[in-house]
A and B are shown apart, each in its own frame.
Chain A
Amino acid sequence: MSDHAVSLPAIAGAGGLEAYGPSGPKPRHTFSRRNIFLYGTLIVVALYYLLPLYVMVVTSLKGMPEIRLGNIFSPPMEITFEPWVKAWSSACTGLNCDGLSRGFWNSVRITIPSVILSIALASVNGYALANWRFKGADTFFIILIVGAFIPYQVMIYPIVIILREVGLYGSLSGLVIVHSIFGMPILTLLFRNYFTSMPEELFRAARVDGAGFWGIYFRIMLPMSLPIFVVAIILQVTGIWNDFLFGVVYTRPDTYPMTVQLNNIVNSVQGVKEYNVNMAATILTGLVPLIVYFLSGKLFVRGIAAGAVKG
């Protein structure tokens, strides 16, 4: 195999064989059988992936009588924003009837400090691991990475005890700490790898000029690694916003994040189910990560490729 690979450029160059490979110019026949099959399949699959989003939006804009009569795929005959208003401000969970807005603000108050704290800790940590290695540092790092594979269920109860001991169980700060802890493996890995790939001379020159640990971090490393910070922010915002397990374990009903409240609104309502309100609430909860996703484009892909290990 490798023999072919080595000798090929010469042959390919002489014979103009690139034209047949997938690397060649765009196919000349736009409506060739291959293209119809290719684009046909892609479009059908794309429609399948878009269908739930479409149904969500359409359902949330219908009134309940129309939902009972019609089918879920038909566009609304009369567009109403009533379900959105109700989902946001007056949908009930148990005795509380102040809608998803409370969960939204809780999620904001959880996500922002969690993102800042977890990234601050992990970036300094990754920097220490990349440039200021001390004896034993790698051992802790390996434990950290292997620990990322331990199911959360194994560790939730010991953390409940620790948080209760320090008086943070049930509070938003407790949940912020939990998010910072579980974000650490992947973020540390991300930053360590990034800082390791930066030129060593830069670090040496700064050392010669007398800069210390924090000086180099704030004046050289931080300004030079903005892209990786953006990737980390995307990763953390979507991850923390979408979290359910930690929210339900470490907060109380009045501090529930949006996902937990959404689930309570939809799944524990007594009496008549209001599907349009449910779908409006579902979209509202999915909106923040969706906006992050559509705005960030390729950076999101980079983030998940790096963060996939986190699960």
Chain B
Amino acid sequence: MSKSERPSQLFRNLNAKIASIPMIFTALVIFVGGTVWTVFYSFTNSKLLPRLHFVGLDQYYRLWATPRWLISIENLLIYGVLSLVFSLVIGFLLAALLDQKIRFEDTFRTIFLYPFALSFIVTGLVWQWLLNPEFGIQGVVRSLGWTSFSFNPLYDSSIVIYGILIAALWQGTGLIMCLMLAGLRGIDEDIWKAARVDGIPTWKTYLFIIIPMMRPVFITTLVIVASNIVRVYDLVVAQTSGGPGIASEVPAKYVYDYMFFAQNLGQGFAASTMMLLSVIIVIVPWAYLEFGGKKRV
């Protein structure tokens, strides 16, 4: 209303506002500003430096005509689907095993989870060594007498992505197990008793009662795993550097290489915008289910 009221509104709760400046800066300048900037510049033909010469969707046409990008996407799809399925299944099975009132539960949990404390670089390098064709698992099995044994994912371009998957599952399933275990512990004991009374076998109880009840845990886990899949980068860099040839390239590496090595910023921006798009495709249905659903109820 009057002019004298305005400053008092602005300065009310001033300390909280000052304390929130980093958050506001991050949210608006980095997250919103940075994203809009990158998407905007993906329509330009920026090379070494960003510049405003618009070329429409050219970068995207070029992107989807580049074999390396197509291989990256294919790898991401294979890796994504398999790591989703395997990490959920293995994570849940391990959690169910640990939930049987066993002894040394803490010891087992500590062992299953420790790889998660290690970086993807360390994980990738260890598995590069274990899968070394000469000295690693293949070499050892051959030296035991089975000379035709062949397990050489890192140097075979048709299966290299599975070599990366093995390392990723080793590193990440412990986390899924922990989330699932927390979910299992959250289920009321009475449910189990009821299932016993009705004479339902344990596996059926898990499959038809417990898992449907753990829907929120599964959805959270799914979102976590999915958004990590899109970001997979360090593991590939450490384990294969994208090789052999370009057989294990992933989108995140494409973005980095085009921005900082190939000096083709426009391609990098277009590729990163595609990554953003894929995350949106995963997140939006989840957000709708999670938050849109509550409004209806």
Residues of A within 8 A of B (CB): 1, 4-5, 8-9, 11-12, 17-18, 20-24, 26, 38-39, 41-42, 45-46, 48-53, 55-56, 59, 67-68, 71-73, 121, 124-125, 127-129, 132-134, 137, 140-141, 143-144, 146-147, 149-159, 161-162, 180-181, 184-185, 188, 212-214, 238, 241-245, 248-249, 259, 262-263, 266-267, 275, 278-279, 282, 285-286, 289-290, 292-294, 297, 300-301, 304-305, 308-309, 311
Contact = CB atoms under 8 A, between A and B. Distances in A.
Contact of B117 (A141, A213, A290): A290
B129 A278 contact: yes
Contacts of A121: 22-23
A38 B94 CA distance: 10
B118 interface: yes
State the main secondary structure of chain B at its contact with A: helix
10 closest Cβ pairs, A-B complex: A147-B31, A242-B119, A132-B16, A213-B15, A293-B117, A158-B34, A4-B194, A155-B34, A128-B16, A143-B27
Looking at A24, A159, A285, A308, the one whose CB has the most chain B CB atoms below 10 A away is A308
30 contacts: A8-B193, A17-B193, A17-B197, A20-B196, A21-B192, A21-B193, A24-B101, A45-B112, A56-B126, A72-B135, A125-B19, A133-B16, A140-B23, A147-B32, A147-B35, A150-B35, A150-B276, A152-B231, A153-B271, A153-B275, A156-B259, A180-B22, A184-B22, A185-B26, A244-B119, A262-B121, A263-B237, A301-B113, A304-B116, A305-B179
Given A22-B99, A143-B32, A184-B23, 15 more contacts: A5-B194, A12-B197, A20-B196, A38-B100, A38-B102, A42-B97, A52-B126, A56-B126, A71-B139, A72-B132, A72-B136, A132-B19, A134-B17, A143-B31, A149-B227
A179 B100 CA distance: 40
A133 B224 CA distance: 29
A147 B27 contact: yes
Interface string B11-29: 0110111011011101111
Given A72-B135, A127-B19, A286-B118, A140 B231 contact: no
A144 B129 contact: no
Interface of B: 12-13, 15-17, 19-20, 22-24, 26-35, 37-39, 50, 94, 97-103, 106, 108-122, 125-130, 132, 135-137, 139-140, 143, 170, 174-175, 178-179, 182, 188-194, 196-198, 209, 220, 223-224, 227-228, 230-231, 233-234, 237-238, 241, 251-252, 255-256, 259-260, 265, 268-269, 271-273, 275-276, 279, 283
